[in-house]
Structure 1
Amino acid sequence: MNDVSQPADAAAPAPASDDPVRETKLSCRGLWKVFGADEAQAKDVIRQNGGAPGREALEEQGLTAAVRDANIEVQTGEIFVIMGLSGSGKSTLIRCLSLLLQPTSGELIFDGRDLLGCTDDELIEIRRHKMGMVFQHFALLPHLTVLGNVAFPLEIQGIPRAEAEERAARMIELVGLDGRERDYPSGLSGGQQQRVGIARSLATEPELWLLDEPFSALDPLIRREMQDEFLKLQKMLNKTIVFITHDFDEAIRLADRIAIMHSGDIVQVGTPEDLVVRPVDDYVREFTSDVSRAKVLSARTLMRPADEGATFAGDIAPNARVIDFAAQAVEAAQPLAVRSRSGQLLGQVDREAVIRVLAEAQ
């Protein structure tokens, strides 16, 4: 049986997945955001250093790089989480991805088009119709009702008020605030205000949804409830999402993949399991050291070849996490079968392997 506490090769590639291949919706290549001088000087320093100046070269010119040579690809329909400690550059990066901040250099590709080559008018149209944003601070308009706040971006688009309010009402119902349409923000709790912010960002039916620490200002219980609601919404809407957080527990609960940032650099991109089992360096290893392995390890990692003629207590998907099938595995007399979407038997997970993972969390 596999001993997951000591992977045979920490540098080995992640096991292949039977998940469908997704197209790239958003990507950035060699993206920099440099502060401290005029734009032309910053571009010159980057160009003169082959597109990758070191920190000393920047500091000599009085420059600071908040985002350094960022390269990511966000796939259609995935939740892509960017995380790091305070000052790591994660919020600057998402503002560059939305072009609320103009990147200093690089490429920013959305639906096959480099946004850095767009005119101001083209960018306004893209942000109004194809991107939605939610911030940590709710930024609701206090003089407007819930309905008015959610309908506001639609009215900015020139949509007639009756149609805007009809669409807004649907979004309000979607986030569980039906019946509160005529309330003002001052009469809502923090969690309810954030739901209004989410409904407002969804009202324009964006293709790309950008969220910058949307739940970090909420109390822990409300935060958990909002995460639940967020996952329900994603299951219904299947948006392409970039989500910023500094909380690894939140990241592993929500993310399909995670990018870890440190001092402006993207250190590693991978699934939560990749980051825990195959960290690329000591920083990522330390960053993930307190994470419960039961929350991130999958059946695919724990499984071994199925015994010939074995009987099974049940079936689990290869990407199922230990925490979700642990009770079933521990209580069963037989192993669990790991099967692909098509029903192909891939292997088995034994009770002892699950118990070892659970014991590591103690």
Structure 2
Amino acid sequence: MTSPGIALQGAVHLNETILLPNLRLALAAGRWTVLLGPSGVGKTTLARLVAGLPTGAQLEGTMRADDGAPLDGRVAVMAQDDQLLPWSSALANVCIGSRLRGTRPDWTRARALLDAVGLLPLAERKPGRLSTGQRQRVALARTLYEDRPVVVLDEPFSALDPVTRYAMQDLAANLLTGRTVILITHDPQEAMRLAYAAFLIGGPDGASAVETPSSPAPRPADSPEIFAAQAVLLRRLTGATAPDTGIAA
């Protein structure tokens, strides 16, 4: 499986409102790129454009994969909302992509992924009997099950306690090695743990690069270089303001 680099250039607008002018964003092939910024600035909008999902915004410009192939069918998405089917078990929710495509579910792989996220004993539970954090882990397993070269993770660990969050970060980083990953987060520490490259979304330039640690990710949570990079990032985030666009981050 070849994971492409992706380049976006142009302006993102919603009706008459320009959300992101002068956008130049390069997503490195086979690496994790993190998008940060205040709520409402357009991070999720960018991710949905890459994934080809419906959004009220449009890119007036170009979006290209560096291998020249279309992105259709090559992107898996984990949305902010877990979007689990309430009438299906956790195991069946992991395999929902197969069911929608009319193909035979790989139950062995699905169970292995539920085991990896610590939920195999709850495989037959429906979402209503799972906690918010457990539901988020099922959604992560479902995203990993899709086995796509490009993966969008929209605040995938936000509902987890710190210990589980670090474990899931490590798991995702391991299982998505070599994939082109777009991670949206509001957590500076998470960004500096996982990012190969990071961008602050918004402002007159659309996206501005954020310096990331030079060591390989995932980096230890107590790494001094993470603390240093996090402090710089926090200073930049503190001065950021979001336009009132009427859409979510």
The two structures have a TM-score, normalised by structure 2, of 0.77
The 8 Å contact of residues 89 and 126 in structure 2, kept in 1 or not, is answered as yes
1:9-88 paired onto structure 2 within 5 Å: 25-36=4-15, 63-88=16-41
Give 1:272's aligned residue: 212
Asked if 1:133 is matched to 2:77, the reply is yes
Amino acid at match of 1:158: G
Give 2:241's aligned residue: none
Amino acid at match of 1:171: L
The 8 Å contact of residues 10 and 24 in structure 2, kept in 1 or not, is answered as yes
The 8 Å contact of residues 256 and 271 in structure 1, kept in 2 or not, is answered as no
Give 1:109's aligned residue: 64
Asked if 1:324 is matched to 2:185, the reply is no
Give the drift of 1:31. Answer: 3.3
CA–CA separation in structure 2 for the residues paired with 1:242 and 1:109: 15
Give the drift of 1:193. Answer: 0.5
Two-structure CA RMSD over aligned residues (Å): 3.0
Amino acid at match of 1:246: H
Bigger CA radius of gyration: 1
Query: If each structure's helix is expressed as a fraction of its own residues, which one has the higher value?
Result: 1
Q: Residues 322 and 237 from structure 1, CA distance in 2 versus in 1: closer, same or farther, beyond 3 angstroms?
A: closer
The 8 Å contact of residues 252 and 272 in structure 1, kept in 2 or not, is answered as yes
Asked if 1:258 is matched to 2:225, the reply is no
Give the drift of 1:182. Answer: 0.6
The 8 Å contact of residues 20 and 202 in structure 2, kept in 1 or not, is answered as no
The two structures have a TM-score, normalised by structure 1, of 0.54
CA–CA separation in structure 2 for the residues paired with 1:185 and 1:236: 24
CA–CA separation in structure 2 for the residues paired with 1:135 and 1:177: 20
Give 1:157's aligned residue: 101
Q: Residues 223 and 209 from structure 1, CA distance in 2 versus in 1: closer, same or farther, beyond 3 angstroms?
A: farther
Asked if 1:166 is matched to 2:95, the reply is no
CA–CA separation in structure 1 for the residues paired with 2:121 and 2:169: 20
How many pairs were matched up?
Answer: 221
Q: Residues 269 and 188 from structure 1, CA distance in 2 versus in 1: closer, same or farther, beyond 3 angstroms?
A: same
Amino acid at match of 1:34: H
Report % sequence identity. Answer: 26
Give 1:12's aligned residue: none
The 8 Å contact of residues 245 and 251 in structure 1, kept in 2 or not, is answered as yes
Give the drift of 1:114. Answer: 6.3
CA–CA separation in structure 2 for the residues paired with 1:27 and 1:258: 14
Q: Residues 34 and 233 from structure 1, CA distance in 2 versus in 1: closer, same or farther, beyond 3 angstroms?
A: closer
**CA offsets per residue over residues 187-231 of structure 1, 9 Å max, x none?**
111111101001111112111110112233x26xx1552243222
Give 1:293's aligned residue: none
Give the drift of 1:29. Answer: 3.3
Give 2:174's aligned residue: 235
Structure 2, unpaired ranges of 5+: 229-249
Instruction: Tell me the secondary structure at the aligned position of residue 143 of structure 1.
Output: coil
The 8 Å contact of residues 87 and 263 in structure 1, kept in 2 or not, is answered as no
CA–CA separation in structure 2 for the residues paired with 1:195 and 1:254: 18
Give the drift of 1:156. Answer: 1.3
CA–CA separation in structure 2 for the residues paired with 1:197 and 1:133: 10
Structure 1, unpaired ranges of 5+: 1-22, 37-62, 274-297, 300-316, 327-353, 355-362
Q: Residues 92 and 223 from structure 1, CA distance in 2 versus in 1: closer, same or farther, beyond 3 angstroms?
A: farther
Amino acid at match of 1:29: L
